[in-house]
Every structure is written in structure tokens, then in C-alpha cells.
């Protein structure tokens, strides 16, 4: 059985958008990497933060909580947070079942 993919979060600046790209499994074990990415996005304070979730293969409540907390911080500072898809089934299911999908704008990556 192959090892589960690891979280890979990195940050890039694209114009006025701060991009966080995440891949692999996002669970409690990935919290430190995610926290560093959020901290960098908050420090940059760009008008928009885009979270690319197209390569996330598994997600649990850690991702859900991180996204909701980030959304609240972005709203409080007048910034936008968008999710980049298409979302894989595990992520789509998590956001849909919890009703959190309606909190986010999801854009198709290209």
C-alpha cells in the first residue's frame, strides 16, 4: 500500500492575489504547514487570497476549520478569500455535507 500524500502548501504572489496551493492529505498532521501558509497570507494582506484545492486528496475537519477561520479573518480585514477548483470528491463532500460550501466562492482553475 503506497504512503498517503503529504500536505504541500506554498505561497505565491500573482498580481493582487496571494495564492496558497495545497496538495495531498489535509488532516490534523498537516496543521503546522497550513498555519505557516495562513500566517504568510495574513502578513501579505493582499486584496485576495486564493486557495488552490485541486490536488487535495483527503480533507477532514482541520481543513474545514482552517478555511472558515481564514474566511472570518479575511472578512474582518476587508479582503476576499476564494477557493480554486475543481474540487475533488473528498473536499466537495466535506464542504457540501457541512453546508460550508455556501460560505465560499469557488472558481475553476485553468
**Domain coverage including residue 47:** 1-11+24-84+106-110
With respect to residue 89, please indicate whether it lies within any of the assigned structural domains.
no
Question: Residue length, the chain?
Answer: 110
Distance between CA atoms of 36 and 68, rounded to whole angstroms? Answer: 16
CB 26 within 8 A of CB 90: no
Distance between CA atoms of 110 and 39, rounded to whole angstroms? Answer: 26
Domain count, the chain: 1
C-alpha cell, 41: 497570507
Peptide bond into 73 cis (omega under 30): no
pLDDT confidence of residue 56: 92
| Alpha helical stretches, state H, 25-60 | 31-44
Peptide bond into 5 cis (omega under 30): no
Instruction: Give the CATH number, domain containing residue 43.
Output: 3.30.750.24
Mean pLDDT of each 10-residue bin along the chain, 110 residues long: 53 82 86 85 91 93 94 96 96 97 92
With respect to residue 54, please indicate whether it lies within any of the assigned structural domains.
yes
pLDDT confidence of residue 36: 87
pLDDT confidence of residue 93: 96
Single pTM value for the model: 0.89
Amino acid at each position: 500500500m503506497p504512503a498517503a500524500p503529504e500536505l504541500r502548501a506554498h505561497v505565491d504572489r500573482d498580481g493582487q492575489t496571494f495564492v496558497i496551493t495545497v496538495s495531498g492529505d489535509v488532516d490534523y498532521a498537516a496543521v503546522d504547514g497550513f498555519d505557516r501558509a495562513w500566517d504568510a497570507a495574513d502578513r501579505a494582506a493582499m486584496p485576495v487570497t486564493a486557495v488552490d484545492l485541486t490536488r487535495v486528496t483527503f480533507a477532514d475537519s482541520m481543513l474545514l476549520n482552517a478555511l472558515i477561520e481564514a474566511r472570518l479573518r479575511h472578512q474582518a480585514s476587508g479582503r476576499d478569500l476564494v477557493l480554486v477548483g475543481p474540487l475533488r470528491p473528498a473536499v466537495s463532500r466535506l464542504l457540501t455535507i457541512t453546508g460550508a460550501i455556501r460560505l465560499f466562492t469557488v472558481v475553476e482553475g485553468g
